[in-house]
Amino acid sequence: MYLLFLCLENNFKFAISKKWYNYNLKQLKVMRELWSFIRERINDSFLFILMFVLGFGIISRREKLKITGFTTLFMMAMVVLSFFFFTNIFKELNPECDNITYKAVKNAVLKDGVKTDAKEIGSIRKGDELALLCYTAGNYQVQTPSGERGWVRYDAIDGEIALWLPQQSEELEAATLLQTVSINEKAEITAKTEDGKTLELSSYEIIPTKALGLRTEGYDKFLFSGKIRVTDDWMQEKFAKGTPFDEISEKYYGYAALIDNQDDYTVVTYPYEIKDYDARKKYSGVNVKFVNGKVDSYEYIGKEKMSLFEKQVLFTRELAGNDLVVKMRSAPFTSQAKITTLGELQRKNKENIDIPAIIGILIAIAVFVIELFIYAVVYISIFGSILLLPMVLAHYLCYVKFIPNYICGLFMSVALIASYIFIYTVYFPNLFFLIIMTFAAIGHLFAISSWLTYHRCKKCKTMYHIEWTGESGHRKSYYSEIRTVKEAGSGKVVSSTSEDYVDTDYNDHYECTACGYKFVEHRSETERR
């Protein structure tokens, strides 16, 4: 919009026709007035939200903090943006893999994970056609022709690798191709360059050439990482006995981390985080037993303790098991590859240059400041979205004149608490944020009461006609505070200071311009003398 203004103004300077000039001047004026109107509404809306979110109930008594249709639309946009950036509601949680197929170059073990203590669930034979699903830390997730899914080391497909972190030798480029010589039990890799130089590497310093462009395990998100977050009630519904495997796989919760075929049944491991509210336990995965392609039973794995107070918050159990909330709280098991070509890898690593220590400190400080700013934006966006429902109610309910103020306040308060429970369940289901939200909710409840007092007439129920007419009283009281410093052990007074204060009491006078109703509100201020 601003650039458009500049273009128009530049056109005026070079205009030849007076008529053309006058026409565009009018257009510019209209656009400026429109932009000024929108900016004013945005500023007002943001001020309203900021007063609630940061003020904790401290609402300016003389400030007209109006809730308009624009304010609710602005708040709705903030809600959508917070959902977009901090949840996965708009993201596919069960993305299809490319299913790139390669032949195994040697016999290998199919395991249930990438750690050194991972269990064997099958075997790979040289020449087997393997579909590559994703890659992480020197291991491929593959699917065999028989339908089994698990992890194999990268050298089962091809031993060719490229340097990911070229720290071994300054003369080697990031895209240098190496050939694997051996891998020990600790996943330490011995590789050789084309000129015969030997390097000792870890799986985190290399990337196989076959893995370039392949999806990677995990999903980096601000609040959530590669888990589908569900409840025991949700599991009982979605994985009821007899549910076909194909039906589950078509859903967004259907990605299988492991598939282990046995003689008469198949065990499928799903990357879930399951909360059992009755047992107050949390689990890091689930093994589902399928017989003839249908659910027979399931078993939770990786038991942990659930938050002590999480079960006590009203409706969290029901909310956490809702499909919409599940999608918001969850993240896909795999993500798009960060590096797709050798050239891209080389460019990325050239960005990692050595810098002086002082510059590194300055960059660290700058990053810290930026992170604080991001967290502030997160706080305002997430906590500000709490106000949407109370604001919508206020915008429509408060204009119904037969409804008393306390009823409006009651409905807004219930809507506020419901919004807090929703945000707690989706974003921060732990004790620390429960304490923060409790204090914030108390402050915001006072804010609602204060806002109604100074914006809705108690007598005629008219909105935004309360005017401050002056102040009176100014009663002053004086007092002193004496502070002493005593010697440890003896209790002898070492020093003593006195500070004088003055309390001033005011009476603020207000009047409704619609009906003439008058009321007085008391306030006091404390200052040093």
Give the rounded distance of the alpha carbon of 245 from its chain centre: 32
Q: Which of 277, 278, 227, 233 is nearest to 253 (CA)?
A: 227
Rounded Cα–Cα distance for residues 430 and 439 (Å): 15
Helix 2-13 vs helix 18-53: angle between axes, to the nearest 10 degrees? 160
Fold agreement between 100-214 and 228-330: no
What are the pLDDT digits (tens) for 108-152? Answer: 888 888 877 788 888 888 888 888 888 888 888 888 888 889 999
1: which DSSP letter? -
Is the full-model pTM beyond 0.85?
no
Judged on CB neighbours under 10 Å (0-12, 13-18, 19+), 373 is exposed
In degrees and rounded to multiples of 5, residue 5 shows phi and psi of: -60, -45
What superfamily does domain 100-214 belong to in CATH? SH3 Domains (2.30.30.40)
CATH of 228-330, one of 3.30.1450, 1.10.3470, 3.40.960, 3.90.320: 3.30.1450
How confident is the model at residue 28, as a pLDDT? Answer: 64
What are the pLDDT digits (tens) for 72-85? Answer: 887 788 778 777 77
How confident is the model at residue 300, as a pLDDT? Answer: 92
Strand blocks (E) in 65-117: 100-103, 108-111
What are the pLDDT digits (tens) for 258-280? Answer: 888 888 899 999 888 899 988 88
Q: Which residues of the chain have pLDDT under 50?
A: 1-8, 12-21, 56-58, 168
Q: Report whether 94 contacts 335 (CB < 8 A).
A: no
How confident is the model at residue 219, as a pLDDT? Answer: 55
What are the pLDDT digits (tens) for 473-515? Answer: 777 777 777 777 666 666 676 667 777 778 888 888 899 999 9
Q: What share of the chain is helix, strand, coil (3-state, %, to 5)?
A: 35, 30, 35
How confident is the model at residue 52, as a pLDDT? Answer: 63
| Long-range contacts from 418-424, C-beta under 8 angstroms, 24+ separation | 418/315, 418/389, 419/385, 419/386, 419/387, 419/388, 419/389, 419/390, 420/386, 421/313, 421/314, 421/315, 421/316, 421/319, 422/319, 422/325, 423/382, 423/383, 423/385, 423/386, 424/313, 424/316
Where do the structural domains in the chain lie, given as residue ranges? 2-86, 100-214, 228-330, 466-528
How confident is the model at residue 460, as a pLDDT? Answer: 92
Tokens (6 digits) for 180:
């694997």
Q: Which of 331, 312, 297 is nearest to 229 (CA)?
A: 331
